[in-house]
Structure 1
Amino acid sequence: MSTALAELLAFQVADRAADGSAIVYHGTISPIFTIGPKVHGGSVQMMVAAAARDALTALAPADADPAALADVTAIAIASDYLAAPDPADVELAVRIVKRGRTVSLARVEVTQHDRVMVSSTVTLGRPDSGEPHHRRLVDFDGLPATPDQTAMSIDGSPLGEVMNLGAALDLSLDPAWFPVLTGDTGEPAVRGWTRPRDPLAEPAHMAQDFPVLVCDLSPPVVMNLGLFGWAPTVQLTTYLRRIPPPGDWLRFAATSTEVGQGMFAEDHTVVDESGALIAQSRQLALIPARPPQ
């Protein structure tokens, strides 16, 4: 059984350099992965991370040990959004810049209509495991591991009519951190819960891919300040810290320390049901354009 998330990462090889230094994948972005008419940036970055991981194996020397790459994945993805792609076919050109024992580096360009839309640098390595030396995650204080009766599902809500990703994932928000629901304003902070719509149907690698998408999943935190509309991502950097248990609900908290007149930075933190840190991100985004007065 195929799911929307799996189909997003179902690449076909379109071209390959004769010297084995680069590979081009063909992919398709479904309209499911849009916010209004705009492609969701985190979904594109998830494609980038998966393509880099696949390329590291596909371009490995003939004498390489496949087992040595079994637990290697994208642990840091830095993406510059040069233009907004359409929900349609794209190509992902991957070049391996460095192949190391502990860390490897790839460059990935997402192109559409012969134009580079997203340019990324991807660091590949082994995610962390075991107990940390220190952990402090205050933004999740009081937030249950799974959605409770107060959680607001986006299904059937006005927000769900704009966030088309609901066909691929379950998403609920903490209403206490989303005062705009009741016409109020508040801090630029949003938190909630998410998981794939049908987690048992997802391929095994989805546990390492999905957190990348989640790191850009929150509605723009500036909505709580009464700033509505498309907040285009300029740059997004995501760190995958651990692989969550397959099927776990992931909790996310999105915050901003300062919202300027033209731009704001938004931080995402993602934990699993046990409270382990799974992923983090920071993005620079534009303030939604105000309609003419």
Structure 2
Amino acid sequence: MSNLTALSEFILLGLSSRPEDQKPLFVLFLIIYMVTLLGNLLIILAIRSHPQLQNPMYFFLSNLSFADICYTTVIIPKMLVNFLSEKKTISYAECLIQMHFFLIFGNIDSYILAAMAIDRYVAICNPFHYVTVMNRRRCGLLLLFSITFSYLHSLLHVLLVNRLTFCASNVIRHFFCDVSPVLKLSCSSTFVNEVLVMTEGLASVMAPFICVIISYLRILMAILKIPSATGKRKAFSTCSSHLTVVTLFYGSISYVYFKPLSSYTIKDRIATVIYTVLTSTLNPFIYSLRNKDMKQGLGKLINNIKFQMGSFYSIKVSKICGS
């Protein structure tokens, strides 16, 4: 019984258990993390500082970038520590905290992507009422709903995990504390947890995904009615970046979560890397490389940063020379 009640920590198996893989993986994920932070931070600063980017689409994009920064920060720093540590442990409390915030920011990402799909639908299918439909208040309410629902969803799952007891085996075959691999270690019944994952959990993922599908079906129907090929290309280009991100995010999530708990394997860990790490890293590139306004905003921001750094350097040099 002491093994069932006194479990104070878990061991995160990680992406690989081979010692020779640890340092290369550390370097790889450190680079990915720095690129994610820098890329998403530049997106946020460009949107905040550029007047042309003050509209609902970029409002949601800046919040998506912020959620991506938080999302990866919940996971990657602990991964980096474990790559260089012999004891790849995480305390029971830290595990639940990581699970809680992972679920929060993961769901916020999902619902913001749905809100962006609605925004593109209104912009293409109802352009004359776009300003009134996607006003600041409505955008704020959509964001507030995303945050509130994600918090309650996460809290419910974490509280149900916290009521479980665990066996002597404390090895989580994953690189962070996700719900499914933690449930596999439980000695008590996980029936309620599994039912919740397959009902409320499935609904929380499918609701925004269905919203995205319906929005894009309506967008496709509207684009097909445009007579000119140029007009069709222009309309499609306004949502191609978002569609790319949605495909990456929901494709990998579907692969991991829409299967029985017992079949959780190394392939699921790799798929999880895509929606937890790579999607957040690629978002800034996808949106900036395929969006003219975003390119201009980033260009102006980088030029301003260069100018300010040059001015600071000149003042510092003049002070040294004067002294």
- Please give the TM-score of this superposition, normalised by the length of structure 2: 0.23
Quick check: which one's helix share is greater?
Answer: 2
TM norm structure 1? 0.25
Structure 1 or 2, whichever has the larger Rg, is 2
